[in-house]
Amino acid sequence: MNVAIIGLGFGAEFIPIYQAHKRSNMYAICQRSEAKLNEVGDQFGIEKRYTSFDDVLADPEVDAVHINTPIPDHGPQSIKALKAGKHVACTVPMATSIEDCEKIVALTKETGLVYMMMETVVYSREYLFVKALYEKGELGRIQFLQASHQQDMAGWPGYWDGLPPMHYATHCVGPVLGLQRKLAEKVSCVGSGRIAESQAKVYGSPFAVESCHIQMKDSDVSARIYRSLFETARQYRESFDVYGSKKSYEWPLIEGEDPVIHTLGKPEPEIPEHTPVPDYAHLLPEEIQHFTGRGVYDADEHQHLSFTQGAGHGGSHPHLVDNFISAVLDKSNAYPNAVESANISCVGILAHQSAMEGGVLKNMPAFAL
Please check the confidence at residue 12 and state whether its pLDDT lies above 90.
yes
- Residue 112's CB: how many other CB atoms inside 10 A? 9
Beta pairing, strands 184-192 & 87-90: unpaired
Is 225 exposed, middle or buried, given 0-12, 13-18 or 19+ CB atoms closer than 10 A? buried
Residue-wise over 239-252: b if at least 16 C-beta within 10 A, else e? bbbbbbeebbbbbe
Element (H, E) at 263: strand 260-263
Give dist(CA 71, CA 242) in Å, integer.
Answer: 29
* pLDDT over 70, % of the chain: 95
Whole-model pTM: value is 0.94
Mean pLDDT of 228-233: 96
Mean pLDDT of 198-212: 96
Alpha carbon dihedral 322, 323, 328, 332, in 10-degree steps, equals: 140
CATH superfamily of 121-322+347-368: Dihydrodipicolinate Reductase; domain 2 (3.30.360.10)
Identify the three-state secondary structure at position 187.
Answer: strand
Domain positions in the chain are: 2-119, 121-322+347-368
Q: What are phi and psi of 17, to 5 degrees?
A: -70, -45
The yes/no answer on whether domain 2-119 falls in CATH 3.40.50.720 is yes
At residue 157, the pLDDT reads 85
Please check the confidence at residue 300 and state whether its pLDDT lies above 70.
no
Give dist(CA 101, CA 60) in Å, integer.
Answer: 26
Mean pLDDT of 297-324: 68
- What is the DSSP code string of 27-44? EEEE-S-HHHHHHHHHHH
Three-point CA angle 131, 132, 135, nearest 5°: 85
Convert the pLDDT of each residue in 151-190 to its tens digit. Answer: 999 888 888 899 999 999 999 999 999 999 999 999 999 9
Convert the pLDDT of each residue in 94-130 to its tens digit. Answer: 999 999 999 999 999 999 999 999 999 999 999 999 9
Give dist(CA 4, CA 86) in Å, integer.
Answer: 10
At residue 156, the pLDDT reads 86
In this prediction, residue 306 has a pLDDT band, given cuts at 50, 70 and 90, of: very low
